[in-house]
Amino acid sequence: PKDVGILALEVYFPSQYVEQVELEKYDGVEAGKYTQGLGQRQMGFCSAHEDINSLCLTVVQRLVERSHLSWDSIGRLEVGTETIIDKSKAVKTVLMQLFQDSGNTDVEGIDTTNACYGGTASLFNAADWVESSSWDGRYALVVCGDIAVYATGNARPTGGAGAVAMLVGPNAPLALERGLRGTHMENAYDFYKPDLASEYPVVDGKLSIQCYFRALDQCYAVYRKKIQSQWQKEGITKPFTMEDFQFIIFHTPFCKLVQKSVGRLLLNDFLAAPKPDTESGIYKGLQSFRGKKLEDTYSDKDVEKAFQKASLEIFNQKTKPSLLLSSRNGNMYTPSVYGCLASLLAQCSAQQLAGSRIGAFSYGSGLAASLFSLRVSQDVAPGSPLDKLVSSFSDLQTRLDSRKCVLPEEFAQIMKLREDTHHLANHTPHGSKDDLFPGTWYLQQIDDKYRREYARK
Ligand code: ACO
């Protein structure tokens, strides 16, 4: 099969959010810390009758309905998540209830977990399945979902929640470029969830940022090496730089980190260039940074500022359009980078996207990271797969605007309620269904044996 990749995409985010400006006041931090400092505008969050299963049920059903798929046409379904409510039973098994009436139980794939990376691992698995001898000709479905919540304190404004579903198969308008995956994995304790009774992680924020940058550097180095050797075979001799990505999307814990990451890629290009021009052009005035070593610069503010400034135009062109959902809904964890993809589709026309190469950086603490690329098809004709994909996101902004704004006091109460109830058996979750978007699945009941029952609004 040719051009294996993403055929259709669906996003679910909660119907309520809190304003970061309000949260700054409520938390008693300096005005601008969350909005300017972290680059966040709003944060979506779930009420007590939503859990990881309900989020994924909603997004999968929406994708299948809107794409007019039959449940039989799916031969693989896997879920990437770090929101664990059961140490054994996979979210995938709950999603199988959607297939029940169709009689299709021949569906490979199961859950994958490592912080925000599980969705990318699932996407790679799904694409590899389609390219393999195990493929039976049907579609694969990749689901990523998470409820990103932090204890009160400085990490809380970097939460969020949501789910993304992707239909994977051949002849895709967003094809995964073969052989072009740069991966970096290592053992780190930057963010982890050792307390199985709590929804909250243990997080070392500063370390997590260093790990993120280091992973980005390493993945970029591997990616460049691989594309360079592909190019060599084709007779292309120029070095690969950021310029060769028309768009770059990132796992987005908060938008400011992504803006810094664009600067970081420019730093990588600058240090790799044999003789960069520092008299004019993009590297103008950066001569004094020539002797820097990447590994010494993770918390070097001078380097960060200089390269953020130099890369501003690149950021505005290649990355900013992808941050709509991240800035208004927050970090969704596993779906984050795919939410950026959805935002890009919502903010750009098919013409702007056609033929481009989209670089995608996925990061999961602990840590697992990959930089890979998607090639957008050239065909922008009305009704073409690309045209359909882009059109399916024309209402993203409107959907975001239609959410309900909740005050920080109420947000804090709901967080407390989740803390007190999310692990209970024999429990009926509180919360009004009125505010949920139509078609949303929600948790109806947890019985005395911890079995969960769901209903759809
Ligand atoms: N106006 C404008 N900017 C401000 C203001 C203000 N009044 N006050 C502070 N700032 C800036 C700071 O200068 C800083 O920016 P800089 O880093 O560019 O200098 C920024 O706001 C944040 O302030 P810090 O003091 O660094 O924030 P703090 O340490 O309290 O928390 C952190 C930030 C560490 C990111 C925290 O929110 C966290 O731990 N989040 C979760 C971990 C995370 O998301 N890690 C990312 C990768 S791993 C993952 O995806 C989970």
Query: pTM for the whole thing?
Result: 0.98
CA distance 319 to 313: 10
82 carries an active-site annotation: yes
| Average pLDDT taken over every residue of the chain | 97
Question: Which pLDDT value is given to residue 358?
Answer: 98
- Work out the pLDDT band at 422, boundaries 50, 70, 90: confident
The alpha carbon of 301 and the centre of ligand 1 are apart by a number of angstroms equal to 13
- Work out the pLDDT band at 437, boundaries 50, 70, 90: very high
Q: Is ligand 1 within 6 A of the CB of residue 336?
A: no
Q: Which residue has the tokens 């978007």?
A: 437
CA distance 415 to 182: 37
CA distance 355 to 247: 11
Pick the catalytic residue from 19, 46, 50, 116: 116
Question: Which pLDDT value is given to residue 110?
Answer: 98
Q: Is ligand 1 within 6 A of the CB of residue 32?
A: yes
The alpha carbon of 38 and the centre of ligand 1 are apart by a number of angstroms equal to 6
pLDDT in tens, 247-260: 999 999 999 999 99
343-371: average pLDDT: 98
Pick the catalytic residue from 49, 184, 251, 422: 251
- Which amino acid residue places its CA nearest to atom 28 of ligand 1? 154
The alpha carbon of 35 and the centre of ligand 1 are apart by a number of angstroms equal to 10
Question: Which of the listed residues 34, 38, 334 should we mutate to test ligand 1's pocket, taking the one with most ligand atoms within 8 A of CB?
Answer: 38
**Phi and psi dihedrals of 48, rounded to 5?**
-70, -15
Contact status, residue 45 vs residue 23, Cβ threshold 8 Å: no
116 carries an active-site annotation: yes
Question: Which pLDDT value is given to residue 426?
Answer: 97
pLDDT in tens, 49-108: 999 999 999 999 999 999 999 999 999 999 999 999 999 999 999 999 999 999 999 999
Is the pLDDT at 430 greater than 90, yes or no? no
Give this complex's ipTM.
Answer: 0.98
